[in-house]
């Protein structure tokens, strides 16, 4: 029996509104088309009407999950135009925040993924651990979601108590090593739902131009942290994680190992935290005329900001290219020939972020 099943834009499997039009024969998916744009808030337009200080607040709200990355990339672009050198301590703190954000984002993804395969206990276990990451973020920034840590030229707040943060991160690392990874790699119902499911071949990955953990799970060793190092990744010795089984399981493993790498980076950064100032002594409000492109590895992949200034306090052009923009269409390649019941986890394995995509 041929079905035409719409998933979304409002559907319990989707964290955010977008639409998957599924064409299926019985329980086998024949084709999928994706529709986005339900969350379009015209942020780029608004950013061109507001000044740089206001823009930092605005771009933080491009996405609530990777809020820090957006202010970081925006600041980096502005710093590039104005030739501002970011103090060492600020670079380390930026790295720590970016990796903490990756931890919470990957844990969030693992939780949502567990929910999508109907494993509620795993969702609860992961979210309990994620609360510890949220605690660390709150200790450092005072906020749980929109941290407002970055400013042009540095960071707004210092890590005053590295030891507390270090202890908490070690606890989180133990949680990932002792509960999350063993369950994901040993529970038979999880294996049945992830192994060999939603395969995105290396060729398809290149053709769709996917980035981030999805590309790395399809055997492509691309990561901005390695290829165009920023913040303090060079000093900390970032190690890339790749897998080549190309299925949902590979995406799980890549993200799990990335979380461990994040923990290692945070621990090392905290131990080697250099002294010195956090930001330029005066608030940067005007950026000289010029243009710049900044690239950063967000939890979902590469974020690109293009910024053009005419020397005033308001940017002429802000262009945001987010990773989900590239990743979401690849659902089509993953879904063909798969079971209908797997669509939830397949689309979730991409970790689609619609507020990023739509902006």
Q: Interface residues with another protein (CB under 8 A)?
A: 1, 3-6, 9-13, 15-17, 27, 37-43, 45-46, 49, 57-58, 61-65, 67, 108, 111-112, 114-125, 127-128, 130-131, 134, 144-146, 187, 189-190, 192-193, 339-344, 353, 355
Specify whether the backbone of 113 is left (phi greater than 0), alpha (psi in -120 to 50) or beta. alpha
User: 111 or 153: whose CB is closer to another protein?
Assistant: 111
| Smallest separation (angstroms) from another protein to the CB of 121 | 5
CB of 160 to another protein, least distance (A): 22
User: What whole-number distance in Å separates Cα of residue 77 and Cα of residue 308?
Assistant: 9
In terms of CB distance, is 13 or 139 closer to another protein?
Answer: 13
d(CA 218, CA 242): 8
CB of 42 to another protein, least distance (A): 5
Query: What is the smallest separation between the CB atom of 209 and another protein, expressed in angstroms?
Result: 24
In the complex, what is the shortest distance from the CB of residue 53 to another protein, in angstroms, rounded to a whole number?
13
Give 17 or 219: the residue with its C-beta nearer to another protein: 17
Least CB distance to another protein at residue 147 (A):
11
Q: Which two tokens stand for residue 88?
A: 């060492």
Of 118 and 311, CB closest to another protein: 118
């Amino acid at each position: 029996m041929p079905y035409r099943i719409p998933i979304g834009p409002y559907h319990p499997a989707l964290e955010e509104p977008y639409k998957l039009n599924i064409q299926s024969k019985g329980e086998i998916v024949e084709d999928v088309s994706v529709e986005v744009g339900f969350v379009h808030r015209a942020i780029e337009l608004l950013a061109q009407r507001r000044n740089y200080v206001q823009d930092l607040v605005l771009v933080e709200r491009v996405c609530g999950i990777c809020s820090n990355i957006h202010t970081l990339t925006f600041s980096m672009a502005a710093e590039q135009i104005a030739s501002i050198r970011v103090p060492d301590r600020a670079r380390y703190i930026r790295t720590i925040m970016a990796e903490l954000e990756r931890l919470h984002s990957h844990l969030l993804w693992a939780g949502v993924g567990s929910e999508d395969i109907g494993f509620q206990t795993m969702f609860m276990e992961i979210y309990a651990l994620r609360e510890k990451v949220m605690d660390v973020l709150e200790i450092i920034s005072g906020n749980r979601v929109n941290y407002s840590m970055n400013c042009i030229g540095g960071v707004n707040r210092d890590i005053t108590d590295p030891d507390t943060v270090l202890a908490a991160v070690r606890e989180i690392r133990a949680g990932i090593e002792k509960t999350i990874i063993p369950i994901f790699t040993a529970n038979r119902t999880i294996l049945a739902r992830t192994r060999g499911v939603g395969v995105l071949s290396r060729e398809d990955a290149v053709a769709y131009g996917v980035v981030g953990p999805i590309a790395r799970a399809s055997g492509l060793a691309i990561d901005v942290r390695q290829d165009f190092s920023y913040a303090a990744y060079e000093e900390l010795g970032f190690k890339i994680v790749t897998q080549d089984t190309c299925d949902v399981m590979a995406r799980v493993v890549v993200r799990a190992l990335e979380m461990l790498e994040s923990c290692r980076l945070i621990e090392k950064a905290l131990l080697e935290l250099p002294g010195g100032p956090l930001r330029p002594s005066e608030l940067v409000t005007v950026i000289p005329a010029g243009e710049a492109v900044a690239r950063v590895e967000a939890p979902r992949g590469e974020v690109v900001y293009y910024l053009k200034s005419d020397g005033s306090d308001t940017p002429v052009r802000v262009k945001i290219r987010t990773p989900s923009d590239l990743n979401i269409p690849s659902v089509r390649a993953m879904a063909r020939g798969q079971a209908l019941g797997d669509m939830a986890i397949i689309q979730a394995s991409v970790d689609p972020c619609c507020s990023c995509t739509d902006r």
